[in-house]
Amino acid sequence: MTSRFERPDRFPSPRTAQAGLTLVELMVTLVIGMIVVGAMSALFIGSTTTRREVDSAADTIENGRYTIDVLTRELSLAGYYGTLRSPSGNDTTKIPCSTSVADWKNSLGIYVMGWNDDAGSPACLTDRKANTDAIFIQRVSTCSLGEADCGAETAADAYVQASECTCVGLSSCTADTTSDVIDKGTSGSFTLRTKKCDSTKPAQVRRIIRRFYYVNSNDVLVSRDVSLTGIRDPVPLAENVEQLQFSYAVDANGNGSIEDTDTFKASPAAGEWASVLGVRVWILTRSNTQDDKPTSDWVFDLDGYQVKGKANDKTYRRRISTTYIPFNGPTWRALPPA
């Protein structure tokens, strides 16, 4: 029984005990929540931006390394003719777009040619980027017909075969009457023999490769082969290559090596191409997206050719990579006898 002296109003009613936040408390909570969300958003955006910049820089560096590796692997083979030590021909034919076997034979001594900056391209090369260098090399394949993955003999390509049959130490033997044969495929001309001078064991037959390397209008480093039926489609090698420059090592002393007294030339004279033993390469690679805003004017110098930009202009990240690539075949042939 409730005493008449008790005061029920001292105890909160159920309705009073379940009362919510006041308007002021709710506004404070919302403000704190917005501050936390804003801070987290800023942290996320900053982290994403930093990660994108790091990835962009890493891609640019890796692309430069990859491009240098590709060019080193490809250009070092310029002038490689297998077992053919001294190519026949007069070393004066310089027609890289020619589809004539005779022209090919008479130009093997010119295993490299180049076009500097805005110099006109050969007629068969129509998609070269303006103000970039291009290079043309000649060599033979590193595999011979009949080997796995070497491809079949075709009339669209020319091949070289060098004789090894001199009959030294052999009795009742007639040496090959010619030292080498250069002809189109499927011609039936490749009858030279190995050291055993056995007609059932023909000497190696290797495909002649005549190839351009250059940057096209889409900033892609490509190669294009010339066949006896014309120039073939470009093969992409590396993307985001903005600039390509070459400087050629001319063996002025004729001693088979590049020394301080020898010179590097961006445009060797017509009679100097047969004396080029290597090439110095500069490439300028860029990022995929324009996410860089330099704080000052900038310039990249590639052996005298400059790429410039202004401060605060949104632009690509860029990187210069450079190396020297010796032509192994010509260097070996140019060395004096032991």
Task: Answer whether 153's CB lies under 8 Å from 185's CB.
Answer: yes
- pTM for this one? 0.81
Pick the closest to residue 92 from 80, 79, 105 (CA basis).
Answer: 105
Q: What is the DSSP string of 238-267?
A: ES-EEEEEEEEEE-TT-SSS--TTSEEESS
pLDDT band at 159 (very low <50, low <70, confident <90, very high): very high
Q: Which band of pLDDT confidence, cut at 50, 70 and 90, is reported for residue 330?
A: confident
- Rounded Cα distance between 48 and 291, Å, is 13
- Percent of residues, the chain, with pLDDT higher than 70: 86
Long-range contacts of 86-89 (CB under 8 A, 24+ apart): 86/333, 87/180, 88/179, 88/180, 88/182
Q: For residues 107 and 32, give the distance between their C-alpha atoms in angstroms, rounded to a whole number.
A: 79
Residue 267 has pLDDT above 60, yes or no: yes
Q: What is the pLDDT of residues 161-176, one digit of tens each?
A: 999 998 888 888 899 9
State the DSSP H helix or E strand holding residue 298, giving kind and residue range, or none if neither. Answer: strand 298-302
Q: 100: closest CA among 227, 233, 212?
A: 227
Residues 294, 316: Cα–Cα separation, whole Å = 10
In whole angstroms, give the CA distance from residue 116 to residue 172: 56
Residue-level pLDDT at 36: 84
Of 86, 74, 113, give the one whose Cα is nearest residue 97: 113
| Nearest one of 216, 239, 244 to 305, comparing CA atoms | 244
Q: Is the pLDDT of residue 315 over 90?
A: no
Query: What is the per-residue pLDDT across 57-113, written as a single tens digit (0 to 9) for each?
Result: 777 888 889 999 999 999 999 999 988 877 765 566 788 999 999 999 888 888 999
In this structure, are residues 304 and 266 in contact, taking their beta carbons and an 8 Å threshold? yes
Query: Is the predicted pLDDT of residue 221 greater than 80, yes or no?
Result: yes
Distance from C-alpha of 281 to C-alpha of 299, rounded to nearest angstrom: 18
Confidence of residue 204 (pLDDT cuts 50, 70, 90): very high
pLDDT, residue 51, reads 65
DSSP per-residue string spanning 170-224: -SS----S-SEEEEETTSS----B-TT--TTSBPPEEEEEEEEEEEBTTS-EEEE
**What's the CA gap between 133 and 284, in Å, rounded?**
12
What contacts 188, CB < 8 A, 6 or more positions away?
Answer: none
199 has a pLDDT exceeding 90 = no
What does the domain layout of the chain look like in residue ranges? 55-332
Query: What's the token pair of residue 37?
Result: 């969300």
Grouping H, G, I as helix, E, B as strand and the rest as coil, residue 336 is: coil
Minimal CA–CA distance to 283: which of 55, 57, 54, 71? 71
